[in-house]
């Protein structure tokens, strides 16, 4: 094996390792962080509720994009951990929303909560949320 093929082989393995590291990290994180049983169950529920594409988006980008059921040009960006839900229309952020449960829930359950509320009754979701408009 010459030097060039050895370098290419090493680079390929490095790319593969970098590609699978976040997935392995997501599965090991609950155990490394000492997550409680409820947090592990919340992470499993989240994986079950999302399509593979949605799960990849949440993992890689740190947010989940949920299309509006009533407004075709509107999209909600729900963060993976604590933070505002961004509302985008035609690709531009028009407002941020703050809507949190009254009692503690694991972050994964909060993502599921936002997803289900938006998809089930977007109007009520918007009524309950604190809104912060964005100005250019």
| Phi, psi angles (nearest 5°) of residue 33 | -80, -5
Which residues constitute the domain of residue 67?
35-133
Quote the pTM value: 0.73
In a domain? residue 109: yes
Residue scoring higher pLDDT (45 or 19): 45
Average pLDDT over residues 28-39: 68
In a domain? residue 80: yes
Average pLDDT over residues 23-42: 71
Split at pLDDT 50, 70, 90, the class of 30 is: low
In a domain? residue 28: no
* Count of the separate structural domains present in the chain: 1
In a domain? residue 11: no
In a domain? residue 56: yes
In a domain? residue 10: no
pLDDT of residue 86: 96
Element at 11 (helix H, strand E) = helix 3-32
Residue 15 structure tokens: 């790319």
In a domain? residue 108: yes
| 34, pLDDT greater than 70 | no
Tell me which residue of 91, 11, 25 sits closest to 60, measured CA to CA: 25
């Amino acid at each position: 094996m010459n030097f060039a093929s050895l370098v290419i082989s090493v680079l390929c393995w490095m790319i593969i390792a970098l590609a699978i590291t976040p997935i392995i990290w997501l599965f090991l994180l609950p155990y490394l962080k000492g997550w409680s049983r409820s947090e592990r169950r919340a992470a499993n529920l989240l994986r079950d509720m999302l399509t593979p594409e949605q799960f990849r988006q949440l993992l890689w980008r740190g947010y989940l994009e949920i299309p509006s059921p009533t407004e075709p040009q509107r999209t909600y960006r729900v963060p993976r951990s604590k933070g505002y839900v961004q509302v985008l229309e035609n690709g531009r952020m028009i407002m941020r929303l703050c809507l949190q449960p009254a009692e503690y829930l694991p972050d994964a359950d909060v993502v599921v909560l936002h997803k289900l509320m938006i998809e089930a009754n977007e109007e009520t979701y918007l009524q309950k949320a604190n809104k912060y408009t964005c100005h250019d």
